């Protein structure tokens, strides 16, 4: 087995050899600890029969760890300068394909019909570029791609929001979306010191095990997420006040109150106290009362 890419000396050697500089605008903080990456691969539950979608391979540190444990790896990298580097660093692996593409513009559905037609399951993973962490997460979750897990490294503060429970400061619309589509688990904290260049904050690894069925039943899923976003519009305001603002001055205030009664929720509650099932009940109430 070749030496891990994710060590300080190898990373520096690769950067020097290819005369590469880090692009801050693309969130390029490369990881220098292969043990952490192996924990990530482990958490993803990938097997030798599975395919992997990786977001942002950089110089290939996580890619090679997956290549050793999976059937096939497809990695999306936006930075053209990294293509010859990845050709070089991953030359020992015949089961890796690099796509030079923005992950947010990729037609992932097509991947499942073609490239992954001969793999058992597919996992998605990445050490996410911090400037588009949420859009990437939502792209994977909302599209309901047939993936088994989504195992991602991100700023600790965002990771905490994904896994947060009601009644905590970190709990918000991102927590609800993530927990609606997946079971989320914090795998480990990753200190800022294991990245090159070193970011200002620590990171965390979150594993989302994609659900086959949402944990709550809602009649109108789109309305559910609209209500959740409206409820958290101003965290210091009560739930009733946020929803009043959402329906506007011309909205039916009595119907709004009736919807709260239907759901058994006090208007003076704050959105952060509501569980997924309470948001589901409130949404169904709003639908029933035609708010
Ligand atoms: N996987 C490597 C590691 O762990 O060391 C690099 C991770 S680095 C935090 C994020 C990577 O995502 C960079 O290589 C960056 O160029 C790439 N990237 C940034 N925006 C992207 C996008 N929209 N689509 C695909 N890759 C992107």
Q: Is 107 annotated as a binding residue?
A: no
Q: Whose CA is nearest to atom 5 of ligand 1?
A: 30
| Pocket probe mutation, ligand 1, options 12, 25, 27, max atoms within 8 Å of Cβ | 27
**pLDDT, mean of residues 17-37:** 98
Residue of 10, 22, 56 with the most ligand 1 atoms within 8 Å of its CB, for mutation: 56
Q: Which residues pair with 52 in a beta bridge?
A: 73, 123
Q: How sure is the predictor about 79, in pLDDT bands with cuts at 50, 70 and 90?
A: very high
pLDDT of residue 167: 96
Residue 2: pLDDT band by 50, 70, 90 thresholds?
confident
Two structure tokens written together for 233: 């519009």
Closest residue by Cα to residue 5 from 40, 50, 37: 37
pLDDT at 210 over 80: yes
Task: For residues 244 and 246, give the distance between their C-alpha atoms in angstroms, rounded to a whole number.
Answer: 5
Q: Give the pLDDT of residue 232.
A: 97
How far apart CA 60 and CA 11 sit, in angstroms, is 10
ipTM: 0.99
Does residue 1 carry a pLDDT above 90? no
Q: Could you tell me where the DSSP H helices lie in 1-70?
A: 8-17, 34-44, 61-69
Tell how far the Cα of 78 is from the centroid of ligand 1, in angstroms: 7
Q: What is the pLDDT of residues 216-252, one digit of tens each?
A: 999 999 999 999 999 999 999 999 999 999 999 999 9
Whole-prediction pTM value?
0.94
Burial label for 248, CB within 10 Å (0-12, 13-18, 19+), is exposed
Task: Report d(CA 122, CA 134) in Å as an integer.
Answer: 21
Residue 24, pLDDT above cutoff 70: yes
Ligand 1 proximal residues by C-beta, below 6 Å: 26-31, 55-58, 61-62, 76-79, 102-104, 127, 129, 132
The average confidence (pLDDT) of the chain is 97
| Residue 56 marked as a ligand binder | yes
Cβ–Cβ < 8 Å for 14, 5: yes
At CB < 8 A and 24+ separation, what contacts does 6-10 make?
6/30, 6/31, 6/32, 6/33, 6/34, 6/36, 6/37, 6/61, 6/62, 6/65, 7/32, 7/33, 7/34, 8/32, 8/196
pLDDT at position 17, please? 98
Mean pLDDT over 88-107 rounds to 97
Q: What is the pLDDT of residue 155?
A: 97
Q: What is the pLDDT of residues 110-141, one digit of tens each?
A: 999 999 999 999 999 999 999 999 999 999 99
Hey, what domains does the chain have and what are their CATH numbers? 8-210 (3.40.50.150), 221-289 (1.10.8.100)
**Do the annotations mark residue 113 as ligand-binding?**
no
pLDDT in tens, 30-78: 999 999 999 999 999 999 999 999 999 999 999 999 999 999 999 999 9
CA dist 112 and 62 (Å) reads: 21
């Amino acid at each position: 087995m070749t030496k891990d890419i994710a060590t300080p000396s190898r990373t520096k050697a690769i950067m020097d050899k290819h005369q590469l500089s880090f692009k801050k605008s693309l969130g390029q903080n490369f990881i220098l600890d292969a043990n952490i990456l192996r924990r990530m691969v482990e958490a993803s539950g990938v097997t030798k029969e599975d395919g992997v979608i990786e977001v942002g391979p950089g110089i290939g540190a996580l890619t090679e760890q997956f290549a050793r444990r999976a059937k096939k790896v497809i990695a999306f990298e936006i930075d053209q300068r990294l293509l010859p580097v990845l050709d070089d660093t991953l030359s020992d692996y015949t089961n890796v394909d690099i796509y030079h593409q923005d992950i947010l513009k990729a037609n992932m559905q097509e991947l499942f019909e073609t490239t992954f037609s001969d793999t058992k399951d597919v996992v998605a993973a990445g050490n996410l570029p911090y400037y588009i962490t949420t859009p990437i997460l939502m792209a994977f979750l909302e599209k309901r791609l047939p993936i088994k897990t989504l195992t991602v490294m991100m700023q600790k503060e965002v990771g905490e929001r994904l896994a947060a429970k009601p009644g905590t400061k970190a709990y918000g619309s991102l927590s609800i979306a993530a927990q609606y589509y997946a079971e989320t688990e914090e795998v480990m904290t990753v200190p800022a010191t294991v990245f090159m260049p070193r970011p200002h904050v620590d990171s965390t690894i979150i594993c989302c095990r994609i659900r086959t069925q949402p944990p709550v039943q809602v009649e109108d899923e789109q309305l559910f997420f609209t209500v959740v976003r409206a409820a958290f519009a101003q965290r210091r305001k009560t739930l009733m006040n946020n929803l009043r603002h959402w329906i506007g001055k011309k909205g039916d205030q009595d119907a709004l109150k009736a919807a709260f009664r239907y759901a058994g929720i006090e208007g003076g509650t704050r959105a952060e106290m509501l569980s997924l099932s309470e948001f589901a009940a409130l949404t169904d109430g709003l639908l029933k009362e035609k708010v």
